[in-house]
Amino acid sequence: MTSASDRPDDGLGERLRELDAAGVPETGPLFDEMFSELKARCDESDRTLAGFLRSRSTAARRMIVLSIFVFLGLVGWFAFPLIAAEGRSVQWTASLIAFCILLVLAMFMVTRPVHLPALPRWQSLCLICVAVGATIVAAFWPIPAALAATTHNHGGGFMAGACMGVGLLLGVPVYALLRLVDRGNALGNLVAAAAAGVAGNFVLKAHCSIAGTSHELLGHASVALVFVLGLGLVHRWIPSK
Amino acid sequence: MAASSKVSPSDEELMDAYVDGDDAAFRLLFERYAPILLRLTRRHLRDDEIAQEIVQHTFFRLHGARNDFRRGSKLRPWVMTIAMNLVREHWRRQKRRKVTDLEVDTQAAPQADFMPIELRQRSALLHGALERLPNSQREVVELHWFQERPYAEVAEIVGTSEGAVRVRAHRAYTTLKQLLVSEIRGDE
């Protein structure tokens, strides 16, 4: 308990005590009603997939998310053709590693236990900016020009649109998964959106053999931007409970 | 319930029982903590409906996080941290909705009809003074004074160092004294 010397001992203490005593007296029926509503809400939540996942321990939630990330990554890596070996530069590898790190950081933020003090908002905002920034920087490291010469005849605009569509589609399950395990962290929706954009970029970077910074900016980096801006606006207009 | 054989099981025993699937233990925890949390949230929000909603949501989050509870942990900091996170989130949303100070001031203060008018006025004045504190200081006053938590535990709940909490408390009490200076002098 607080020692007496720690607390104001003069008139202020007296006033604070007065205020504490002046609260509205609580009644049993109010708490009965509140508990009934709460119990119904808990029971309803337990019946949903989100409720089931959110009530797992933090370690279990993280293992679930990591396992699914690794599974999807392995399937994507081996089931579909990677870009030509000539295109796998140091920058290409660095981009993929950076995307992986960002995904793991986002996962840790989103699965943060609620009994710990909430993270400062600037940390979440920082991760979101870095994630979007990383996809833009990666666009300035396209596959080498030698490959670009053979691949630029497809019609840049159409292919950028196709890549963007694929990236958005691939990001949706990542977003959904992160929302399903989020117990209600502030800005969790935007962190999940940024992670979805990064996941889409990871797959596009690994598999898309269309070269050119403009293509990567329009077709790849835009995925993260669309996710963050789009979902940010949606959540602003339709605030969650 | 394993804990029911004792006269008064501790909060932690009740939580352990709840984690093991005992719903009655959850009810007992609610009965213990809901009044404390309701007073806390009312003091912060001055809106009964929102205060009740936050109390319910605190327990809803506790329910969702129950599998994170480890034997040997203290429950009170858990519950307080969840509640304070929700209160902070509420303030942030209020700010975003651009609720002006004027609108906050016109909200009905939680005052009982049985209170004498003078006490009601004094209570409103002190509420006003508390509202003028920055959120970071107000939550320290709430936990340190009203909840009688030691500085170390307050630091754990608000997620900062004990030294920073002491500084915030000192500043908050000094500001409150300045705001209520005439009244306090009158009391003395």
Cα separation, B98 vs A59, in Å, equals: 38
* Percent of chain A surpassing pLDDT 90: 49
Work out the pLDDT band at A189, boundaries 50, 70, 90. Answer: very high
Instruction: Specify the DSSP class assigned to residue B145.
Output: I
What DSSP string describes A160-188?
HHHHHHHHHHHHHHHHHHHHHH----TTH
Crossing angle for the helix pair A188-207 and A156-181, to the nearest 10 degrees: 140
pLDDT, tens digit (0-9, with 9 covering 90-100), for B15-58: 999 999 898 999 999 999 999 899 888 887 778 889 999 999 99
In angstroms, the CA B98 to CA B109 distance is 20
pLDDT at A78 over 90: no
- Please give the pLDDT value at position B163: 92
Tokens of A77: 């890596």
Contact between A102 and A131 (Cβ < 8 Å) = yes
Residues B148-174: tens digit of each pLDDT? 888 998 998 888 899 999 999 999 888
Tokens of B47: 């809106």
Place of tokens 């029971």: A43
B40 token code pair: 């806390």
Structure tokens at B34: 């809901």
Is the CB of residue A196 less than 8 Å from the CB of residue A175? yes
Nearest-Cα distance to chain A for B13, in Å, is: 18
> Could you report the predicted ipTM of this complex, rounded to two decimals?
0.79
**Tens digits of residue pLDDT in B135-145:** 888 889 888 88
Q: Which residue of B has its CA nearest to A119?
A: B159
Q: From the candidates B27, B85, B119, B170, which should be mutated to test the interface with A, based on the most A CB atoms within 10 A?
A: B85
Q: What is the mean pLDDT of chain A?
A: 84
CA distance A191 to chain B (A): 16
Supply B111's token pair.
């005052």
Q: What is the pLDDT of residue A116?
A: 92
Cα-to-chain-centroid distance, residue B47: 14
> How would you classify residue A184: left for phi > 0, otherwise alpha for psi between -120 and 50, otherwise beta?
left
Q: How many CB atoms lie within 10 A of CB B72?
A: 7
State residue A131's pLDDT score: 95
Distances (CA, A) of B148 to B86, B105, B136, B161: 20, 27, 17, 18
pTM: 0.80
pLDDT at A225: 94
Say yes or no for a CB contact (<8 Å) between B35 and A31.
yes
Q: Which fold has domain B113-188?
A: Arc Repressor Mutant, subunit A (1.10.10)
- Domain range summary for chain A, segments of one domain joined by +: 57-237
User: What's the CA gap between B159 and B148, in Å, rounded?
Assistant: 17
Length of chain A measured in residues: 241
The confidence score (pLDDT) of residue B105 equals 44
What b/e readout covers B39-54, taking b as 16+ CB neighbours within 10 angstroms? bbbbbbbbbbebbbbb
Q: How far apart are CA A23 and CA B22, in angstroms?
A: 32
Q: Where are the domains of chain B?
A: 9-110, 113-188
CA distance B87 to chain A (A): 11
Q: A54 to chain B, minimum CA–CA distance in Å?
A: 6
Between A90-110 and A188-207, two packed helices, what is the crossing angle to 10 degrees? 160
What CA–CA distances, in Å, run from A15 to A27, A89, A124, B111, B124?
25, 69, 39, 15, 11
CA A200 to chain centre: 12
Phi, psi of A230, rounded to the nearest 5 degrees: -60, -55
What's CA B34's distance to the chain center, in Å? 10
Tokens of B157: 């709940």
Lowest pLDDT segment from A47-61, A80-94, A140-154, B148-162: A140-154
For A190-220, the pLDDT digits (tens) are 999 999 999 999 998 888 877 778 888 888 9
B97 token code pair = 């909705």
Nearest CA in chain B to A51: B64
Yes or no, beta carbons of B48 and A24 under 8 Å apart: yes
- Tell me which chain B residue has its CA closest to the CA of residue A25: B112
> Mutate which of A2, A53, A124 to test chain B, going by most B C-beta atoms within 10 A?
A2
User: What pLDDT, on the 0 to 100 scale, is given for residue B187?
Assistant: 52
Comparing CB atoms, the residue among A24, A38, A45 nearest residue B56 is A38
Compute the average pLDDT of residues B66-78.
Answer: 89
Mean pLDDT of B49-75: 91
The Cα–Cα gap between B102 and B143 comes to 26
Collapsing DSSP states into helix, strand and coil, what is residue A11? helix
Write out chain A residues lying below 8 Å of B65, CB-based.
Answer: 55, 113-115, 183
- Taking every pair of C-alpha atoms in chain B, what is the biggest distance, in angstroms? 55
**For an interface test with B, which of A3, A116, A124 has the most B Cβ atoms less than 10 Å from its Cβ?**
A116
Task: Please report the pLDDT score of residue B28 as a whole number.
Answer: 93
Q: Compute the nearest-CA separation of B140 from chain A (Å).
A: 12
What pLDDT does B99 receive? 47
Q: How confident is the model at residue A237 (pLDDT cuts 50, 70, 90)?
A: confident
With cut-offs at 50, 70 and 90, classify the pLDDT of residue B97: low
DSSP A144: P
> For B76, which residue in chain A has the nearest alpha carbon?
A115
Q: What is the CATH code for B9-110?
A: 1.10.1740.10
The tens digit of pLDDT for each residue in A58-67 reads 999 999 999 9
Query: In sequence order, what DSSP letters do the residues of B118-130 get, joined into one string?
Result: HHHHHHHHHHHHH
Tracing tokens 């403009």 back to the chain, one arrives at A214
Cα separation, A20 vs A229, in Å, equals 45
CB B58 within 8 A of CB B121: no
